[in-house]
Amino acid sequence: MLCHLCAATPALYLLCITMAQVAGQEEREKTPALKDLLSGIDLDELMKKDEPPFIFPKTLEEFEYAFNEYGQLRHIRTGEPFVFNAREDLHRWNQKRYEALGEIITQYVYELLEKECNMTKAILPVDAEDEPTSFIYLSPDAMSNPSKLLVLVQGSGVVRAGQWARRLIINQDLNSGTQIPFINRAMEEGYGVLVLNPNENYLEVEKPAKSSPLYSHTEPLDEPAEKKERKDDKDGKKKREFYEKYRNPQKEAETDRIPIRENGSSEEHVLYVWDHFVSKAKASNVFVVAHSYGGLSFVELMNHREMQVKSKVCAVALTDSSHNIWLQETSKGTQDWMMEHCCNWVSSPEPLDTPLDSMLPDCPRVSAELFWQYR
């Protein structure tokens, strides 16, 4: 049929061939043009994500979470536990969201201490006027109970008064992560209770906006170029990583920390509370529960107030304590007293209360099974 068409209409046949040749030429001309266009596009830049602003809810309700009857944090619509990776590949944003929730949890625990445990705040320093302050919590009879006083000291980090571990509160339940079960049990058995707050050490304030000077007043003008280059490279490494990952990395506010007088560290705080509260309490028998860095702070207290502690404290329960009697240069008297009056429960696969070996001649170490390893 094609032969008949070509024979009948040679002009039409030639026209089709010519059009096909022209079309092919146009396609060949487009190919390099398209390549030139694509070569000007930064594919890595296209793959970058926009980092969302660090703006998060201010209440549990706004987060759409609530604690159920078992003290577990659950989503109010789905009933699911808290999800850390709310947005994939945005770890810094997810971490900031987690920290924002943690601050709400801290306030929630304060409310539980005040409303459910009937505890009150005592401001530190006790003579504070116009300055940064901290606080501790006391049961109604903490200072007046003539018999027994329980003192609770948590470890280091973000945890505040009434908490053992924020992560446990969020991922497990309030009974696992807060000190409230200890407080309730102590009150039922006739103890006064004092809850310390050793990580509330400073007031954080945002730095005022500043202009861009020709040189930094904090650096010498004659600083060697090589030294400055190394310093800038070190300081800027983390920021560059964000810039490489995000198209618009969020800039975090720069802050200054104003220390709280005589409470600028966990060790200072424990010493201050001893001097102004525990030593003045009427209880003839003081008992201490200290976790992790709280154990180190207690040992440091003994270094400064050894005779007072020995005369007032009956027993100390340490949990995964991070103290070291050699590095902290404790006296022989302190070491002997700790052998008789302290016990350190540590994470271990052994059955509960199984004696464990210790390289240091201080308080006995026994197994807490695996209970405390999650704190």
Torsion sign, CA atoms 157, 159, 164, 169: negative
CB 145 within 8 A of CB 283: yes
d(C-alpha 179, C-alpha 338), whole Å: 24
Q: Which residues are catalytic?
A: 292
d(C-alpha 146, C-alpha 283), whole Å: 4
* SS3 of the chain: CHHHHHHHCHHHHHHHHHHHHHHHHHHHHHHHHHHHHHHCCCHHHHHCECCCCCCCCCCHHHHCEEECCCCCEEECCCCCCCCCCCCCCCHHHHHHHHHHHHHHHHHHHHHHHHHCCCCEEEEECCCCCCCCCEEEEECCCCCCCCCEEEEEECCCCCCCCCECCHHHHHHCCHHHHECHHHHHHHHHCCCEEEECCCCCCEEEEECCCCCCCCCCCCCCCCCCHHHHHHHHHHHHHHHHHHHHHECCCCCCCCEEEEECCCCCCHHHHHHHHHHHCHHHCCCCEEEEEEECHHHHHHHHHHHHHHHHHHHHEEEEEEECCCCCCCCCCCCHHHHHHHHHHEEEEECCCCCCCCEECCCCCCCCEEEECEHHHHC
